[in-house]
Chain A
Amino acid sequence: MRRRMPSPTPLLLLALLAVVLLWPLAGVIGGALIVNGRLSLAPLAGVFANPVYAEGLLNSLKIAVGTTVLAAAIAVPLAWISGRCEFAGQRLLTGLLLVPMVLPPFVGAIGLQQILGQYGVLNAALGLGPVDWLGRGRYPGVVLLQSLGLYPVLYLNVVAALANVDPAMEEAAENMGCTGLRKFTRITLPLIAPGLFAGGSLVFIWSFTELGAPLIMNYQRCAPVQVYDALKDMGSSPLPYALVFVMLSASLLLYAAVRMLFGRHSNAMQSKATVARAMRRLSGWRGVGARILFAGVIAVALLPHIGVVLTSFSAHGAWYRTVLPADFTLGNFRDALGHEMTVGSIRNSLVFSLFAVACGLACGLAAARVVARSRSVLAPVIDAAAMAPLAVPGIVLAFGFLSISSTLSNQPWVKESPFLLGLVDVRVNPALFLIIAYAVRRLPYLVRSAVAGLQQTPVALEEAGANLGAAPGRVMVRITAPLIAANLVAGGLLAFAFSMLEVSDSLMLAQRADHFPITKTIYELFQLIGTGRYIASALGVWAMAFLAAALLGSSLLMGRKLGAIFRA
């Protein structure tokens, strides 16, 4: 009898991931390095020689460094307290601490300007003149906004790393006479370094390549905004490609470097803990202090979005040099839902996101099964590929899809068919590319949540299905998927929520008003002089309410495991 054929799923998955991930990257790399059919470093040299682009890259680097440092300064102490101590209200506060992660900084930027701007709340409250808290060039504002949105990523990674430290490691230090801060720096910090740097590299890459926040904050001189502004030159100049290429290489290098330095080998020997950790009970003024610290961070982190909510309820022009809007109205919401652009954009976003989640779930479940169940040699490759969108900046992928679209739509065989043109030319209809882009960007969350579910489900349940005659596909549909339904729904809800508020793909790929998703509409409305920011805020509040509902749903389904999805 012949040997059984190996399952084709790993190969199919790999091919699919190559198309949706490697092709756009190849487009970027090709555009940056190949001029007139020949390899050339001239465009790269051009980026660094161009003082505007060089400054933009440097500024982005500064933003990333500033954001990562500030986010770590917020996250590490909070993580240490919540990982080592107990105090009343801890569950609620640590839960709320994660909320800013899912609130789009893109929308928050509008609120932050209302609060910290020259004629904003802070100056009005303090009775100051037009002090510019956001700083000349807006650098402090962008860093503040981004670190307030990204510290939860670091927090989750550090909490997980702290939980993995065998209590005996720290007890051994105490037994040797080492306590307090010294114990933290000599023993705990080195042990959690892998988690800290893994989270830190994610924050760094995200803030280095974030488009939305600097765009709304009007911080023009940073690389992502420059890429956005240069889109119109894409056809004629390799410079935008080269700029994106630099961002891609920097991100991948950082990601790979952190993986290599803090990979499986150095501190991986952490044995299973044999004693349960005794949590330090914070009572009295210490407990109050911890609660104030947590609540304070949450309040500050939510400030930009509180600003958005207030803006959305403010009458036009009624929030100027005052602490609260002078006049409240519901009119903005009515306008936001009445505006022909907004209604269409909500429908567009819904359609794009639903399709993206459906594709992502199918792909993610298949990939998770290969990763968690099969012994295929391709399993680690697929795992890495499915996680890769974490390391590849959204703006790079968006740019790559844009380049594919422009390449394909210039092919004569495409030009002849209106159907094909509608499919691949984003100027005609961006739906296909937006759906693919949304799905690819959120694939890591879907795979992670499905893998988590599979790892908790005994293989024997699936084997019993196979034993009774179900083919692999049927086992997946009838047994595996229902067993891990909670994980799939939770991952799907999150992916859906993030897709609804996705920024870089939406801004770059959607080019005609009738195809705008929500975020692009918010940006366009925001730019309208006068009433724009109020209606944009109202639309933003709608979107945030939506997001909050989705997040609540997935946290109910996933329970405390929700954090696992956001770990590097």
Chain B
Amino acid sequence: MAVSLRIERVTKRFGADVAVDRADFEVAPGEIFFLLGPSGCGKTTLLRCIAGFCEPDEGRILIGDEDVTHVPPHKRDTGMVFQNYALWPHMTLAGNVGFGLEMRGVSKREAAERVRDALRMVRMEDRADARPNELSGGQQQRIALARALVIRPRCLLLDEPLSNLDAKLRLEMRSEIRRICKQAGLTAVYVTHDQKEALSVADRLAVMDGGRICQTGAPMDVYRTPATTFVARFIGETNILEGRFDGGSPCGAKVETPFGEFVSSNPLPAGVGAGDSVWVSFRPEAVRILRRDERPGDGCVNLLSGTVCESVYLGETAQHLVEIEPVAGQGGGTGQVRVFELNPRDVVCGGSVPARISVDPSDVVMLAK
């Protein structure tokens, strides 16, 4: 039975350090929610607060309708998958998986059946009598997942569960975890620093930095319309230019930059008025390089001129560095824009080639300074 999870203004301090600063979000029943951020941002501490291993200094944590803020971990009925799995080496796999059921006084017969089901769910049913140290990393990961799932927890907590696996296995387990969570209809909180993992598995995610939640939203919303420069830089890559908000236009909000005028059709950040100094952010893959006489599309488009001064060919893509020129009369040096080109046909090696670049207004985000 999936339940909701509510985090209300949770703060956790370690001495003078504020590890989690007024975190506030809600996870809907059956939703897979990600806490994403660089190491040291407080995401694991927040997860441990939910599991009960840390007690918040302020705020409340509710699982379903129950306030569990000060409930000890063993009474919370959460299933946790630890970063290094924490499988008990002195027990068999079945012993590890069945332990939680034993603690809950489930009858031996039922427990055996549920352990078997859980092992089948993670495709490890034939290894029930093996010991944890006989398993590969991926297999240990599955057992840790089975151990957390078998108790049918009110909420599943995953602490960087894939960080100890190699790249290929990580990809495989990503979709596996999503499949299992959805199959069991679990409410899950998943901590990671890997943006690809978060974007591909999450229903919704929160980006954390320095203990604070910077932005919460669906993966595509957070990626396409980051709320802060930190989020824009942490998830994916981005080009950021400084400018001044210059009011509206038929094509969208206008921003005056040293390199020309930018138009964004995305919503304005809260509290920004005409004349305010702002950032403009656009993704490298949103930039098109116009060759020679190529014309930009009709309608609204942002156009800049400069020179392609460096290219790195990567097969399916090429990464270009474009030096853009300030508009005449504006002071300051040149700026640089990174461009990702899919299916590249020609790259610049040595020297530089004059070019114009274009960005669609729907790909430009204005960020408050």
CB-defined interface of B194-221 with A at 8 Å, one 1/0 digit per residue?
Answer: 0000000000000000000000000000
A162 to B: closest C-beta gap in Å: 15
B72, B73, B90, B99: which contacts A191 (Cβ < 8 A)?
A: B90
Shortest Cβ gap from B79 to chain A (Å): 7
Contacts of B104 in A (CB 8 A): 177
Interface of A (DSSP majority class) = loop
Q: Shortest CB–CB separation between residue A280 and chain B, in angstroms?
A: 12
Residue from A175, A191, A266 in contact with B51 in the complex, judged by beta carbons closer than 8 Å: A175
Residues of A within 8 A of B103 (CB): 176-178
A36 is an interface residue with CB less than 8 A from chain B? no
Q: Name the CB-closest residue of B to A176.
A: B100
Residues A269 and B74 in contact in the complex (CB < 8 Å), given A168-B82, A177-B103, A178-B99 = no
Chain A residues whose CB sits within 8 angstroms of the CB of B85 once the complex forms: 271
| Chain B min CB distance to A449 (Å) | 30
Residues of B within 8 A of A267 (CB): 89-90
Q: How close is B158's CB to chain A, nearest CB, in angstroms? A: 12
Assembly CA distance A270 to B132 (angstroms): 10
Instruction: Indicate if B168 sits at the interface (CB-CB under 8 A).
Output: no
Indicate if B84 sits at the interface (CB-CB under 8 A): yes
A169 interface contact, C-beta 8 A: yes
Kindly report which residue of chain A lies nearest to residue B79, judged by CB atoms: A175
Residues of B within 8 A of A377 (CB): none
What is the bound-complex CA distance between A274 and B53, given in angstroms?
Answer: 14
Asked whether, in the complex, the Cβ of A176 is within 8 Å of the Cβ of B89, the reply is no
Give bound CA distance, A372 to B181, whole Å. Answer: 48
A173–B99 Cα distance when bound, in Å, is: 8
Contact with A along B78-93 (1 / 0, CB 8 A): 1110111111111000
Whether, in the assembled complex, B75 has its beta carbon less than 8 Å from a beta carbon of chain A, the answer is yes
Q: Which residue of chain A is the closest to B85 with respect to CB atoms?
A: A271
Measured between alpha carbons, how far is A175 from B154 in the docked complex, in Å?
A: 12
Taking CB atoms and an 8 Å cut-off, the chain A residues in 174-221 that contact chain B are: 174-179, 186-187, 190-191, 193
Find out whether the CB atom of A175 lies under 8 angstroms from the CB atom of B74: yes
Are B86's CB and A169's CB within 8 A?
Answer: yes
Q: How many residues of A contact B (CB 8 A)?
A: 29
A272-284: CB near B (< 8 Å → 1, else 0) gives 1111001000000
Q: Are A274 and B75 in contact (CB under 8 A)?
A: no
Is A172 a contact partner of B88 (Cβ separation < 8 A)? yes
Is A270 a contact of B82 with CB atoms below 8 Å? Answer: no
Q: Out of B74, B84, B87, B159, which one reaches A272, CB within 8 Å? A: B84
Contact in complex: A271, B88 (CB < 8 Å): no
Asked if residues A171 and B73 are in contact (CB atoms below 8 Å), the reply is yes
Total contacting residues, chain B, CB less than 8 A: 34
A187 and chain B: residue at smallest CB distance: B88
User: B89 touching A268 by the CB < 8 A rule?
Assistant: yes
Residues in B neighbouring A177, C-beta threshold 8 A: 74-75, 77, 100, 103-104, 151
B224 within 8 A of A: no
Question: With the chains together, A171 CA to B51 CA distance in Å?
Answer: 9
A166 within 8 A of partner (CB): yes
User: B57-77: which have CB < 8 Å to A?
Assistant: 72-77
Q: Are A179 and B90 in contact (CB under 8 A)?
A: no
A166: B residues at CB distance < 8 A: 84, 86
| Closest Cβ–Cβ distance, residue B267 to chain A (whole Å) | 40
Q: Please measure, in the bound complex, the distance between the C-alpha atom of A272 and the C-alpha atom of B85, giving whole angstroms.
A: 11
Give the residues in chain A near B90, CB-CB below 8 Å. 190-191, 193, 266-267
C-alpha gap A265/B147 in the complex (Å) = 23
Kindly state the separation between the CA atoms of A187 and B48 in the bound complex, as whole angstroms: 20
A275 / chain B contacts, CB cutoff of 8 Å: 44, 48, 53
Q: Which residue of the partner chain, among B54, B73, B83, B132, contacts A175 with CB atoms under 8 Å? A: B73
Q: Is B133 positioned at the interface, with any CB of A under 8 Å from its CB?
A: yes
Q: Which of B52, B75, B80 sits near A172, CB closer than 8 Å?
A: B80
Mask, B338-350, CB within 8 Å of A = 1, is 0000000000000
Tell me the chain B residues, 216-250 only, with Cβ under 8 Å from chain A: none
Give Cα A126 to B53, complex, Å: 50
Nearest residue, chain B, Cβ from A169: B86
A177 to B51, CA, bound (A): 12
- Report chain A residues within 8 Å CB of B151: 176-177
Q: A172-B147, A193-B90, A278-B53 are in contact. List 10 more A-B contacts (CB 8 A).
A: A171-B53, A172-B88, A173-B99, A174-B72, A175-B74, A177-B74, A178-B99, A271-B85, A273-B84, A274-B159
- Kindly list the 3 A-B residue pairs having the minimum CB-CB distance in the complex, ordered from nearest: A176-B100, A168-B86, A269-B133
What are 11 sample pairs from A and B whose C-beta atoms fall under 8 A apart?
A171-B73, A175-B78, A175-B100, A176-B151, A177-B104, A191-B90, A265-B133, A267-B89, A270-B89, A271-B84, A275-B44
